[in-house]
Structure formats: C-alpha cells, structure tokens
A and B are shown apart, each in its own frame.
Chain A
Amino acid sequence: MHREFICILCPNSCRISVEYEGTNIKNIKGDGCPKGKDYVKNEITNPLRVFTGSVLVESGNFSLASVKTPVPIPKKYLKEIGEITHCLKMKAPIKIGQVVAQNLLGEDIDLIATRKVNIINK
C-alpha cells in the first residue's frame, strides 16, 4: 500500500511518501529527520497526538489554566479528554507542570498545567 503522510512534529511539515504492508514499512521517502519514520510508524499503527485544552480556575489572575498531556496520547481519545476538561476545576495558585488529573479513562492519560496562574484576593 502506498500513502503520503504530512509529518506534524515540526513546522517543516515534511511530506513523507511510504510504501507499506500492514504495519511493515517497506520503503520511505521524504522524511527530513529520524523522527519522521517514527511518526509514520505511529500513524500506521496507533496515531498519537498531544491534547491541549483548558480548565476552570478559582480566584486566579486568569480564569482558565491551559493544560496538556505530558506525552502524546492515542488520537481516538482526544474528544473524550476534551469533555473531561469541562468538568475539572482548580484553585489558584497554579504552577507550570502541576498535575491536573491522572490516569484518565483508565488509559494512563495525565493532564498537566501549562499556564502559571497567580492567586488574586477579590
């Protein structure tokens, strides 16, 4: 089977042309760096994406803390994780890297904060 992939790992957006059977890559062209092959392997077997979203914050200088999964997760879970973030709530102060939720969907998916939020006294 032949397919063209656009690598999403950096802004170069390499167009990678791949010849494969099942999950076995036979020929690969256009991968500008070693990450390209790993990306394609994942795309064929289990596409991975970093989830980013936001979570409500109480008494912070921002009303939302941005969050992400510290590692890419299976693409099929993105929407479900999005729904979960709607129900979460945090309290300021928040540090970057602080754990927001753990082991979501029983799939070992964590969320960490990506915004520093300071406490404000209203």
Chain B
Amino acid sequence: MMDGKTDRPLVRVEQVSKEYAMGGEVLKALNGVSLTVGYGEFVAIIGPSGSGKSTLMNILGCLDTPTSGKYWLEGEEVSRLPENRLAEIRNRKIGFIFQNFNLLPKLTALENVELPLIYRGMKGAERRERAMEALRKVGLADRTRHRPAELSGGQQQRVAIARALAGSPPVLLGDEPTGALDSKTSGEVMELMLELNREGHTIILITHNMDVADQAKRIVRIADGVLDEGGGAACISPRD
C-alpha cells in the first residue's frame, strides 16, 4: 500500500469549523480544527459525546462540508466540491466502517462488498474477484452467500470492513467500529484493523473508548469542537 506519496500528507485539515443553526442560536460543532494524517498512520480521535467527533468524522469522510476552513485529501482540496464529486471521492478514496455496520440487509455478504465497486462502474467478473479477495482478507471467504441477518455481529462488521477494503481506498474511516460489539469480538475486530494497518492501510478511528484508542499509534483528543493532540499514545494519560 505504501508508495512514494509519503512526502505529501494523506489528510490535511486546516482551521475547519462547522456551525449549525439551532433554534436561532449558532452551535459550533467544530471550532478551528487542524489535523494532518500521513500515509500508513493509525490515528484514534477520542472524545465524549457532543465533542464534535462525529462532525469531524463526517467532514473527513466527505459526507458533510465544513462551514469554513480547508481540507486536502491526497493533495486535493475537497471542502468546496459539488455533491457528485464528493460521492466519487467517497467511492474511491474512503472506506467507511460504521458502528452499526450499515450493511444492506437484502444483499448477501458478497453483494454488499461489491456495492462500492458497482458504483465505480467495474465489470462483473473483476468486481466479484475483488470482493472475494476482500472477504478472504477478513476471513469470511466461506460466508459469501449469507445475508447480514445470518451472520454474527463480529462477522457483520468484518463484512463491512471488507466492503471498505474492496475499493482499496487510501484511508479507512472507522466510526466507533467496535461500539456495537461485545468485548471479545471487539478485540477480534481491533486485531483485524491493526493487522490491516501493519499491511499499510491508513486508519482513522473515532471512539469514546480509551481501550480502543490505546491500540492506535496516535491519539487525538477532541472536546467542545477543539482538537488537543499529544505527541503519541504514550503521552496521553488514561482518562479514568
């Protein structure tokens, strides 16, 4: 995965703010956030609920655009792009891993994994091949014909990870990926993500769980819409 792009940061966010109008008052969900993530990093963004971490996640994932500030993804300024371009960027450059998996219940595991490739316009045979490869990578090669309802929570999340991997995007974005899992499966999922990181995938996780964040190479705290970055995981003292 690693290539010669390391001189340019993968993610560069500068002075990003996001405001919501709520009942006449302006709520600042993000207040001048700056963040840089390089290729191959494993970053955990940790913060309590209401801290703005989901807003940051949405902006990093190009699901939402900031009110002000700039966001470069692989050197491309994306904060002011039209919706169709953003959809393309989500499709090619970002792999989402959601807390509640967000698989389509009527599709099989394989079809779910194929979905981003369909929107990329990839042809049938190649698409199936890539999807199978992604499922093999997460250890679910024998569950391709199962629907999400026929899989356990951990397996569903692994299908979701396979879906995120299928398009080989430069960055995987996890929004509380272990939030809906018990501690054993959640450990397995984290293990898988660490493994992917070791293989070179860049991973950005959002969590409020310190144990999860601790496994990341780098921890960024967020509170009241402001980022507070220590040097690395070692410098952050556990919260409780």
Mutual binders A and B: no
